[in-house]
A and B are shown apart, each in its own frame.
Chain A
Amino acid sequence: MKPNQFAPALLFICILPVVVFTQDAREIVRQADENMRSNSSYTELRMTITKPTWSRTIEMKTWALEPEYALIYITAPARDKGMATLKRKNEVWNWIPTAQKIIKIPPSMMLAAWMGSDFTNDDLVREASVVDDYEHKLLGEEKLGTYAAYKIESIPKPDKGIVWGKIISYISKESYLNLKSEYYDEDSLLVKIFNGSQPKTFDGHRILTRWEMRPQDKPGNSTILEYINVKYNIDLGVTFFSEQNMKRIR
């Protein structure tokens, strides 16, 4: 579950693998996680942000070295082309080509929207390990569309500082695809829903290539991620994720 760059965001959001309670549940989550992940990856993706009165599409390339490094390069729209976002451990930098300048995002802005999407800068950076930071429980099996899926409840371990109260995820029996995740806050109110669809195989990893996130408190808002191309286990070193490279990358 580490398709790329965006992986960090996706991880929290989409992947909910977890461990603990039932060996079964933990194993299912681990499988799903492993399926998406790889040590390093390159992804081309398209993000469509929809708000009640407007929408816009951003295309980007991302490189990721799990779990701490990611680089995002914006290829469209034209006005934003060339901008790059670098994530290194828990810090985020932006390269602004029009000003020829790198800006480090200050802590006060970490909760601001990233590129106008429903993701925050903090989402890019957070290091929650989906498998280890939650306790997982198999609630049962359900049919979701054409898939037979496991329904798993994941509750964060108290010392991990995770904002969610619980996450309910549906993982298909076949290929361990994370078809749907529901995020609940501490009062058990549904906050956002992730829906995955359109499975494809890249480099032997079978993954869902379309992810739609709908915040429940903002009707009419959604963010859709579509994976256009994914490469796994590419040759990337830590040095790739440097401020210098952020300016050079195409």
Chain B
Amino acid sequence: MKLFLQLAWRNLWRNKRRTIITISSIFFAVIFALIMRSMQRGYYDYSIKMSASMFTGYIQVHGQDFWEKRSLDQSMTVRAEDFRRLEHLPHVTQVVARLESFALVSYGDVTKVASLIGIDPLREDEMTHLQSKLVAGQYLTYSSDGVLIAEGLAEIMQISVGDSIVVFGQGYQGVTAAALLPVSGIVKFNLPNLNKTFIYLSLKQAQWLFGADERLTSVSLMLDNVANIDKVEKTARQIFGPEYELMTWDEMMPELVQSIAADNAGGVIMMIILYVVIGFGIFATVMMMTAERQREFGVLVSVGMKKRILMFVTFIETLFVSFIGVIGGGLISLPILYYYYLHPFKMSGKAAEALQAFGFEAIMPFSLKPEIFTEQIMITLIIAICSVLYPILFIRKLKPANALHG
């Protein structure tokens, strides 16, 4: 075996230039593919994080069927000790409880349907940075009786800070939810459908209004990294029994999953084009090499070299070339990716403005997920195996007499 490796290695370096050209074509292709994939994956993770922290979180706990029915009758109680356990789960960074429902909101002659969200103001701010969206008035406190109203809704209804709105709707188990609530602040969202429907109030106030003491409709979890979602979901499942439902961001935001999938398909096509080019590069080199060595193969077979062994050595040669290229490319790109992982690209122009408008940093972080690397290694290996089929078939059909006479 060692002999074969040695043979293959020496064969490679008999024609240095040819080998180096092949290696470098693989090398640069790998660097390029790695950077592209890392950027894409990194950006997906970042968009998921942005979207999750806007409202839903990575994981949400609901009462059974709440997500589908959206009714307070599907609300739940969460014991304080379970809430604490949730907070202390590894990888969980924030735990945010809410009680939400729809109700009529009336001011003057205008009546609209709004989404009323009872929140713990401090926790909510940690996750969604709600306080930074305040454009007028005061933020909520834990037990304040005022409301924060979305700017678009306030404008339609001509409400300003200090006015009082009437809320009228249906609470828990059919009770009537009706109250006169002072507007303590106005918050501006950049998503139009939030900006026209959201009204925040303190959790205590919401529970009183909807006759749902101690009840919640959702508990949202933020994690340190989206990659830990499965682990956390599993452990959280042990805390909550079957009367609760646990949902992850991809179940709650299918439109985000779709847009990522669509974008990812574009990236995959780019990769395929790239690898087709690389594949033919490798194949061409292998073909040339084989043709050049026709005479050599003829001699070897005539003096008694088994064809099987010859095929094997050729195969090892191709593997060597491929792996030197892949590993070299990987090693060189690793520090580049790592650097951009720590110091993400700053975006500029329209895309940046759009992101900043939502209150996020306009950056493009890279991803260092191991599957990005394994993916490239697998693909290159497959290409190498495919191209090595040519010399193997060539050797199989080789007739020493013809080969020697060229």
Residues of A within 8 A of B (CB): 49, 51, 53-54, 56, 79-80, 83, 94, 96, 98-101, 103-106, 108-109, 112-113, 115-117
Is the C-beta of B141 less than 8 angstroms from some C-beta in chain A? no
Q: Which residues of B contact A106 (CB under 8 A)?
A: 104, 111-113
- How many angstroms from the CA of A226 to the CA of B104 in the assembled complex? 29
Which B-chain residue is minimally distant from A100 (CB atoms)? B180
Is the C-beta of B377 less than 8 angstroms from some C-beta in chain A? no
Q: Which of B35-43, B92-100, B170-178, B256-264 contacts A (4 or more CB under 8 A)?
A: B170-178
Report which of B106, B170, B175 forms a contact with A103, defined as CB distance below 8 A.
B106
CB–CB B166/A51 < 8 A? no
Which A-chain residue is minimally distant from B173 (CB atoms)? A54
- How many angstroms from the CA of A103 to the CA of B211 in the assembled complex? 20
Is the C-beta of B125 less than 8 angstroms from some C-beta in chain A? no
Smallest CB separation, B169 vs chain A (Å): 9
Number of A-B contacts (CB under 8 A): 63
- How many angstroms from the CA of A185 to the CA of B45 in the assembled complex? 48
Is the C-beta of B73 less than 8 angstroms from some C-beta in chain A? yes
User: Do A115 and B176 contact each other (CB < 8 Å), given the known contacts A105-B111, A106-B112, A106-B113?
Assistant: yes
Residues of B within 8 A of A (CB): 73, 104, 106, 109, 111-113, 166-168, 170, 173-176, 178-180, 211
Q: Which residues of B contact A56 (CB under 8 A)?
A: 173-175
Report which of B73, B112, B166, B211 forms a contact with A96, defined as CB distance below 8 A.
B166
Which B-chain residue is minimally distant from A99 (CB atoms)? B180
Which B-chain residue is minimally distant from A80 (CB atoms)? B176
CB–CB B113/A108 < 8 A? yes
Smallest CB separation, B217 vs chain A (Å): 16
CB–CB B174/A94 < 8 A? no
* Contacts A103-B166, A105-B104 supplied; 5 other A-B pairs, CB < 8 Å: A54-B174, A79-B175, A98-B178, A101-B180, A115-B174
CB–CB B178/A96 < 8 A? yes
Report which of A83, A98, A109, A117 forms a contact with B180, defined as CB distance below 8 A.
A98
Report which of B170, B176, B211 forms a contact with A83, defined as CB distance below 8 A.
B176
Q: Which residues of B contact A105 (CB under 8 A)?
A: 104, 111
CB–CB A79/B176 < 8 A? yes
Smallest CB separation, B216 vs chain A (Å): 17
Q: Which residues of A contact B176 (CB under 8 A)?
A: 79-80, 83, 115-116
CB–CB B104/A101 < 8 A? no
- How many angstroms from the CA of A115 to the CA of B178 in the assembled complex? 12
Which A-chain residue is minimally distant from B74 (CB atoms)? A53
- How many angstroms from the CA of A100 to the CA of B166 in the assembled complex? 9
CB–CB A49/B174 < 8 A? yes
Q: Which residues of B contact A104 (CB under 8 A)?
A: 109, 111
CB–CB B113/A51 < 8 A? no
- How many angstroms from the CA of A117 to the CA of B173 in the assembled complex? 10
- How many angstroms from the CA of A54 to the CA of B72 in the assembled complex? 12
A–B Cβ pairs within 8 angstroms, 17 of them: A51-B174, A56-B173, A79-B176, A80-B175, A80-B176, A83-B176, A94-B168, A98-B179, A99-B167, A103-B104, A106-B104, A113-B170, A115-B174, A115-B176, A116-B174, A116-B176, A117-B174
CB–CB A101/B166 < 8 A? yes
Q: Which residues of B contact A54 (CB under 8 A)?
A: 73, 173-174
Q: Which residues of A contact B113 (CB under 8 A)?
A: 106, 108-109
Q: Which residues of A contact B174 (CB under 8 A)?
A: 49, 51, 54, 56, 115-117
Smallest CB separation, B258 vs chain A (Å): 28
Q: Which residues of A contact B109 (CB under 8 A)?
A: 104
- How many angstroms from the CA of A109 to the CA of B106 in the assembled complex? 13
- How many angstroms from the CA of A129 to the CA of B211 in the assembled complex? 38
- How many angstroms from the CA of A98 to the CA of B164 in the assembled complex? 13
Q: Which residues of B contact A112 (CB under 8 A)?
A: 170
CB–CB A99/B111 < 8 A? no
Smallest CB separation, A38 vs chain B (Å): 30
CB–CB B73/A83 < 8 A? no
CB–CB A109/B104 < 8 A? yes
